Structure 1
């Protein structure tokens, strides 16, 4: 495979395509705001131990679901809300969360590697139980740039894209042309499949094969020097019926983006309100948690329309 962006920003680079987020790119992106309306693109995080909320939010099987502990009535980890000066009380809570496959998140460049090398030829042995000392999510920083919305489900005239339908370069190009937009360096491109809507009717079907972009579509986007690619499925790329990535390893979307180009992936987005707004260009804002050595971070991305 190619190592397309390795050493492009120096031997020690750990941010990848995020280096394209120059002040000029940010200032230009502000011009994408039309109405000043702000939309969250995140799934809710549910998971109180006293109910089954976490199971009702789209997620992949086999992942530890979010656990939200509350210190109010003694039902979780404390005896109750703390009294303050006899006239008020304070409730505390604790959250245990595995972002991959359970909620809206952004992948770090340390999330995937090949031949014992991370992005930019950093050694994969630096990713261990103590965290990733190379290419962790704490190296990314905030993303403020132009967002492009490619509503593939809407373009195809479907409530959601069928997993058998390939979202290839031709489809993305047609969708972009219909919306009157073209990716440019520094953009974040969000692709809507509509797949989260399937979960409400059939969690089992949601957790099987999923639609997503194929290798040709991924190449088209990274060749435009985008900073990140987001999707409302669980892996950005298509997922096979066995739960694994569709296609050969040489065409794996995670390797193409995270490993080869240093392009971050944003997964499990909620894009229904953005689709209803019908505005394909906007200001995109997202700040991952500075989790030292993390392979991902929960994320609440914002579209400023």
Structure 2
């Protein structure tokens, strides 16, 4: 068991959902009251095209990671299956395959995505994570997430378009913007994805993100999930690695110690423009049994 404060055993010895257990019926019903206008915004990055087209390079991603790929059987260019006839004069194009990777599109990390020593969150054995999937803490344990979302629009609070690449958001700054309730989804905007349109090289020069102290503060607030528009929740250097020591790694703090699911690479520009701090947050990962994560299209209901 980790020496630091943690949620191991809090929701029972067999728990595999972590702080999503805080989303009881009463909490969800209370969260629905955050909707005011009924406007729905998608918070996801697009998945465009396949490797035979330049489309994947038009969306933010970490350098060197396999790009999101979308194969279709429509013209034989991407997939050999061709077009399926469905009736006289009619044809149907089939989506054959979508391949995604952490760091390349909007996704949710499962609790089995990170472990320390030989233990996953809650003491589940890390040996249960195999090439065919994880038999503990897989993404299929999530189900659906309906919660109050709280936007921490850090650059707007500071009067900036986006945070500098080396900026690490302290807990005090988050507390100046909002104080989440138990069960809320904390949504962190750095503004960094917008840098991609200006310069790919600048985007790859590093990334702003939460400090370890901010991660611990959010955990102490009992948030049900942490979501951000950057690639790793925490910050990255020019080698696309975290500079913090291992004990301060945000994936270990949040996923491993506290059972807080992470959602990365959101698109938050429209949500920021709407000027709303609270809203209804809705997300449902694919039920990939044993998956370490899933592509996601989170929604904000304003």
Pair in the same fold by TM > 0.5: yes
Structure 2 partner of 1:138: 140
Which among 36, 41, 44 is matched to residue 42 of structure 1? 44
After TM superposition, the runs of 4+ consecutive aligned structure 1 residues lying more than 3 A away are: none
Distance in 2, Cα, partners of 1:263 & 1:197: 27
Structure 1 position 235 matched with structure 2 position 235: no
Q: 1:49 to 1:241 in 2, by over 3 A?
A: closer
Distance in 2, Cα, partners of 1:85 & 1:156: 59
- Structure 1 stretch displaced more, 122-131 or 73-82: 73-82
Distance in 1, Cα, partners of 2:81 & 2:211: 52
Deviations 1:8-57 (A, max 9, x none): 11111100001111000000001101000000000001133441111110
Which among 211, 216, 219 is matched to residue 214 of structure 1? 211
Structure 1 partner of 2:298: 301
Structure 1 position 101 matched with structure 2 position 103: yes
TM-score by length of 1: 0.95
Unaligned regions of 5+ residues in structure 2, if any?
none
Residue 201 of structure 2 aligns to a residue in which SS? helix
Distance in 1, Cα, partners of 2:22 & 2:114: 21
Distance in 2, Cα, partners of 1:64 & 1:225: 34
Distance in 1, Cα, partners of 2:206 & 2:78: 37
Residue 235 of structure 1 aligns to a residue in which SS? coil
Number of equivalenced pairs:
300
Which among 186, 194, 199 is matched to residue 189 of structure 1? 186
Structure 1 position 171 matched with structure 2 position 173: yes
CA RMSD in angstroms, aligned pairs only: 1.2
Residue 282 of structure 1 aligns to a residue in which SS? strand
Which among 114, 117, 136 is matched to residue 116 of structure 2? 114
Structure 2 partner of 1:154: 156
Which among 259, 263, 266 is matched to residue 260 of structure 2? 263
Deviations 1:126-170 (A, max 9, x none): 111011111110111100010000100101111100023231011
1:63–1:98 Cα contact (<8 Å) kept: no
1:18–1:186 Cα contact (<8 Å) kept: yes
TM-score by length of 2: 0.96
Unaligned regions of 5+ residues in structure 1, if any?
177-181
Distance in 2, Cα, partners of 1:217 & 1:141: 27
2:167–2:235 Cα contact (<8 Å) kept: no
Deviations 1:240-276 (A, max 9, x none): 2221112111111100000000001110000000000
**Cα displacement (A) at 1:205:** 2.0
Distance in 1, Cα, partners of 2:156 & 2:25: 33
Residue 288 of structure 2 aligns to a residue in which SS? coil
2:165–2:205 Cα contact (<8 Å) kept: no
